[in-house]
C-alpha cells in the first residue's frame, strides 16, 4: 500500500505482488504506471466523498497494479489544485514512486 508518504521513494516488490496506490484527495489524477509489462494495471479511479463541502476535494484517487516481471516502472499522478481555487505550491502537484520488481 503506497500513499503520499511514499512520494519520491523507490520500493521493491516481488513478482506477483499487488501494488495499491491511494492518494487522499479527489484532486489527484488516477495514478498511472509507466510500463504495463512490469506493472499491469488492474483497476482504480477517483471516488469523492458524498458529504464533502464544495472545493475541499474530499475523496481518494487510487490504482492497483500487479507486479508481472522483473524491471522498473514509475507510478505517477498529478493535480493542479490543492484546495478551492488554490494552486498547488511547488512540489505538491506531482506524485511519483519508482517500483522495482524482483523475482
The residue to which cell 522483473 is assigned: 70
Show the cell assigned to 87: 494552486
Q: Is the pLDDT of residue 100 over 80?
A: yes
Give strand pairing partners of 25: none
- Which domains does the chain show, CATH number per domain? 4-102 (2.60.40.2020)
Q: At 51, is the pLDDT very low, low, confident or very high (cuts 50, 70, 90)?
A: confident
78 pLDDT more than 90: yes
Query: Structure pTM?
Result: 0.92
CB 23 within 8 A of CB 77: yes
Residue 33: pLDDT over 80: yes
> Distance between CA atoms of 54 and 102, rounded to whole angstroms?
43
Amino acid at each position: 500500500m503506497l500513499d503520499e508518504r511514499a512520494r519520491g521513494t523507490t520500493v521493491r516488490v516481488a513478482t506477483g505482488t499487488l501494488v495499491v496506490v491511494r492518494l487522499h484527495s479527489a484532486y489527484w489524477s488516477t495514478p498511472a504506471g509507466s510500463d504495463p509489462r512490469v506493472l499491469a494495471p488492474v483497476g482504480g479511479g477517483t471516488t469523492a466523498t458524498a458529504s464533502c463541502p464544495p472545493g475541499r476535494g474530499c475523496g481518494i484517487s487510487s490504482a492497483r497494479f500487479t507486479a508481472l516481471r522483473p524491471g522498473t516502472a514509475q507510478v505517477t499522478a498529478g493535480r493542479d489544485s490543492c484546495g478551492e481555487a488554490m494552486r498547488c505550491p511547488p512540489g505538491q502537484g506531482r506524485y511519483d514512486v519508482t517500483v522495482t520488481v524482483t523475482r
